[in-house]
Amino acid sequence: MECRVLSIQSHVVRGYVGNKSATFPLQVLGFEVDSINSVQFSNHTGYAHWKGQVLTAEELNVLYEGIKLNNVNHYDYILTGYSRDISFLETVVDIIKELKKANPSLVYVCDPVMGDQGAMYVPENLLPVYKNKVVPLADILTPNQFEAELLTGRKINTEEDAIEVMDLLHKMGPETVVLTSTDLPSKQGDQFLVALGSQKISKVSDGTNTDQKICMDIPKVDAVFVGTGDLFAAMMLAWTHHHPKDLKTACEKTVSVMHHVIKRTITYANEMAGPGKRPTPAQLELRMVQSKADIENPAIVVEAKVLQKSSQ
């Protein structure tokens, strides 16, 4: 498999977020990963302390120039995630446009990181950039409920709402949308959260339109993880690559990998913390290298339900 990904995300010396979270799993699955580190920090910002340096939009351009001058600016995928800087994000958009010109089949996997649980945790002025410039270029989008509501201006209270929001997102650009988590009540009870996915593939050749909409009930875990969204987007990239027209399978594999990594992590973290104590951010770092076998070949632990499948 010759598949080259350009991932533009954070780097941390210690732990697994951003490029640290995405690179190893993708490499283990055989992808060539080129990584531009948007920042380099000692660790993620959930620790008591964090220190490091930020890449400016200009410096990002310089790195891209180097790639271009050597005529190796050919990628099959781009992957982006957490960003805090408008000019950086806009430079990323320019780079993606150029790379899509160089390879029209390029797939842009975008995690539109803006916030969660009803609050933004990036500067507010990123929203219009995501809405007007980034999402229109994206092919695969992995918003959570809050981000999906922000981008479409529509609230999600029911499954029907979620479906309408995903359709609105399709109209903005991406053929594949996954709502990574929602507050919708799960049929399996309150120990589960609901995730949904939608794929709208139009075949230009014969005008047919294949929609697939799915939903999954995912076991909740009583801990705050950092880097799981980054791992999710990377795994969606990998599994939609292997199952480009089967969102059900791609999501089952992605969510199953998440489950194995998270389980292993929480078990280890609790062991480290000791009985009755809440694990620290350091103890909760994803057990990534230890999960290699699960990443390579995930046992399916969550089944996705097909909501509607129509072909015209």
Partner 1 sequence: MECRVLSIQSHVVRGYVGNKSASFPLQVNTICINVSPVLSAGYSHWKGQVLTADELHVLYEGIKLNNVHHYDYVLTGYTRDTSFLEMVVDIVQELKRANPNLVYVCDPVLGDHGSMYVPQNLYPVYKNKVVPVADIITPNQFEAELLTGKNISTEKDAVEVMDLLHAMGPDTVVITSSDLPSRLGDRFLVSLGSQRHVRPDGSRTTQRVRLEVPKVDAVFVGTGDLFAAMLLAWTHHYPTDLKTACEKTFSVMHHVIQRTISYAHELAGPGRRPSPPQLELRMVQSKADIEDPAIVTEATVIS
Number of residues that bind partner 1 (CB under 8 A): 42
CA separation for the pair 168, 213 (Å, rounded): 14
Whether 302 contacts 241, CB under 8 Å: no
- Answer yes or no whether residue 231 interacts with partner 1 by CB under 8 A: no
What residues between 118 and 177 interact with partner 1 by CB under 8 A? Answer: none
Which of 18, 41, 227, 269 lies at the binding interface for partner 1 (CB under 8 A)? 41
Least gap, CB of 82 to partner 1 (angstroms): 18
Q: Which of the stretches 25-33, 173-181, 191-199, 303-311 binds partner 1 when contact is defined by CB under 8 A?
A: 25-33
Binding mask 65-104 for partner 1 (x = CB under 8 A): xxx-xx-x--------------------------------
The verdict on 265 binding partner 1 (CB under 8 A) reads no
- Tell me if residue 116 is catalytic: no
Binding segment toward partner 1, per CB under 8 A, in 114-122, 149-157, 240-248, 281-289: 281-289
Which residues neighbour 303 within 8 Å (Cβ) at sequence distance 6 or greater? 216, 252
Closest CA to 114 of 93, 91, 86: 86
Position 254 contacts partner 1 (CB under 8 A): no
How many angstroms separate the CA atoms of 7 and 95, rounded? 12
- H or E stretch at 309: strand 305-311
| Helix residue spans in the chain (DSSP H) | 18-28, 57-69, 86-102, 126-129, 145-152, 159-172, 228-242, 247-273, 292-296
Residue pair 86/133 in contact (Cβ under 8 Å)? The answer is no
Nearer to partner 1, 39 or 177 (CB): 39
Burial 103-124, CB ≥16 within 10 A → b, else e: eeebbbbbbbbbbeeeeeebee
Considering the candidates 206, 230, 246, 294, report the single residue annotated as catalytic: 230
Q: Give the interface segment with partner 1, choosing from 154-162, 204-212, 286-294, 301-309 (CB under 8 A).
A: 286-294
- What is the set of active-site residues? 230
| Interface ranges with partner 1 (CB under 8 A) | 6, 11, 13-14, 23-24, 27-28, 30-37, 40-43, 47-53, 55, 59, 62-63, 65-67, 69-70, 72, 282, 288-290, 292
